[in-house]
Amino acid sequence: MNQFLKPTVACLAVLGMFGMQGLCAQDDPDRTAALQLTADHSGRSLHIDGDAAALHVVVQQTTIADVLSALAGFNVRYRSSIGLDEMRDGSYAGSLGHVVGRLLNGYDYATKQNGSRLEVTIIGKGGEIGSPGPIAVSVRRQPSD
């Protein structure tokens, strides 16, 4: 029988302002098959389908922090030296790493794959980290003999 057709167990949790429902295959509790976060009265919504290899995320007026927190069900861990309260609207599809990369477009970040866990470190907004300017060197000419 196809592994996606095996019975599933529903897991219910509350995440921030959203109700989260995750479906986990009974014989593989670490694998999240689908995650749905429903809209609240403010018009914010987050919907996640798929698995780490083929993910589809649709967000409406949802912060980057909320999306990354929801992806914890896919074994994503993140830390940031800045606030991630910028709102996102749109649809992201692809592998987990690809979706995270598109979500963090405009940010300086690093990722590390540690077994099945994806660790993300957000350093700052693109262009905010100062790069060294040109180095000025004074040149003094010696009179020629």
* pLDDT tens by residue, 28-53: 434 444 555 555 557 889 999 999 99
Using DSSP, state whether 84 is helix, strand or coil. Answer: coil
Cβ-contact 26, 7 below 8 angstroms? yes
Residue 143 domain flag? no
Query: CA-to-CA distance for 136 and 145, rounded, in angstroms?
Result: 28
Lowest mean pLDDT among 35-39, 100-104, 109-113: 35-39
Query: CA-to-CA distance for 56 and 34, rounded, in angstroms?
Result: 10
Residue 103 domain flag? yes
Above 50 in pLDDT, residue 15?
Answer: no
**26 — alpha (psi -120 to 50), left (phi > 0) or beta?**
alpha
Average pLDDT, integer, range 53-81: 95
Q: How many structural domains are present in the chain?
A: 1
Residue 18 domain flag? yes
Average pLDDT, integer, range 63-83: 95
Residue 91 domain flag? yes
Residue 31 domain flag? yes
Report the length, in residues, of the chain.
145
b/e per residue, 95-130, with b = 16+ CB within 10 A?
ebeebbbebbeebbbebeeeeeebebebeeeeeeee
Q: Which domain holds residue 23?
A: 7-125
Residue 1 domain flag? no
Residue 39 domain flag? yes
- pTM (2 decimals)? 0.63
Residue 42 domain flag? yes
Sheet holding 107-114, edge to edge: 76-80, 117-125, 107-114
